Homo-oligomer: A and B are copies of this chain.
Amino acid sequence: VFTVLCGGVGAARFLVGATAVRDPAQITAVVNVGDDTVLHGLHISPDLDTVTYTLGGVHNDELGWGMTSETWRVMDELTSLGGPTWFRLGDRDLATHLYRTGRLAEGATLSAVTRELAHARKVRTHIIPVTDDRLATIVTTAEGELLSFQEYFVARRHDVAVVAIEFEGAPRSSPAPGVLAAIADAERVVVAPSNPLVSIDPVLAVPGIREALAERRADAIAITPIVAGAALKGPAARLLRELGHEPTAVGVARLYRELVGTFVLDERDAQLRSDVEALGLRCVVTDTVMSDPQRAGALAEAVLGA
């Protein structure tokens, strides 16, 4: 049994690799919900959808979000109505949000709905939102604006200076059913190569998760999301810098040092090995850039078999 703490795209790629080299039914993905938002009345869970779509083979790799074979009839009509279209929702993708919102309105939990959606897409990996409670990542800009994660990430294209990140609702949230057991019982717990500040931190902000992970430190392993001082995607390096962390793999390793015993460094950063080890972490150096499923499988083998 393996458990992976997940954000969106990077985590999903790792899971593709992991499910290629291990039985998908033995893998649990615990997924960030701080990016979740309500738009047009619809409950949207971007990271859960990215993971589910990717494992279901219907993720739109070209766009980097949403579904394959997508069309935009609803958005086109909404545009003609003068409605808000900064958050693009494809027609197929919308069906997911209609389904989720309808089920939540009926009283189903987010984890139950997530299970149903994964089942419908024939995904055997267990996908669990870290919590069924409301948890919202809120970004404070240098101008003092409070932005929801999607306002920051999509509407502002993360092109704005950030001075603080908070997780609204986190103190009152509880881990979803199965999350603590998935961490406690796993042969190995993996922190996916996701943004540490806006993808992994909200997962750790749910009371009990950080402690559960620290308990498993010896068997926990984090994969760097930063290679050669840059994120492969998104604002991780910039956010690290703005929030006072070193924008390198070592800066990330420092954030995780009390939670994981092993850190996976990219081979392009091999010279940082001693800096990581100086933090009291074992260090694995390998190719972490999952540019195709084969490379993702090789990384997963290195991580799960480490």
A interface, CB within 8 angstroms of B? 38-43, 71, 73-78, 80-84, 91-92, 94-99, 101-102, 104-105, 116-117, 120
Contact = CB atoms under 8 A, between A and B. Distances in A.
Contacts of A92: 73-74, 77
A155 B80 CA distance: 31
Nearest to A96: B81
A-B CB proximity, top 3 nearest = A77-B95, A41-B101, A73-B91
A98 B85 CA distance: 11
Contacts of A95: 74-78, 80-81, 83
B81 A41 contact: no
A57 to B, nearest CB: 14
30 contacts: A39-B102, A40-B98, A40-B99, A40-B101, A40-B102, A41-B41, A41-B42, A41-B43, A41-B102, A41-B105, A42-B98, A42-B101, A71-B73, A73-B92, A74-B91, A74-B94, A74-B95, A76-B95, A77-B91, A77-B94, A77-B95, A77-B96, A78-B95, A80-B95, A80-B120, A81-B95, A81-B117, A82-B120, A83-B95, A83-B99
A86 to B, nearest CB: 12
A94 B94 contact: yes
A136 B159 CA distance: 46
Contacts of A83: 95, 98-99, 102
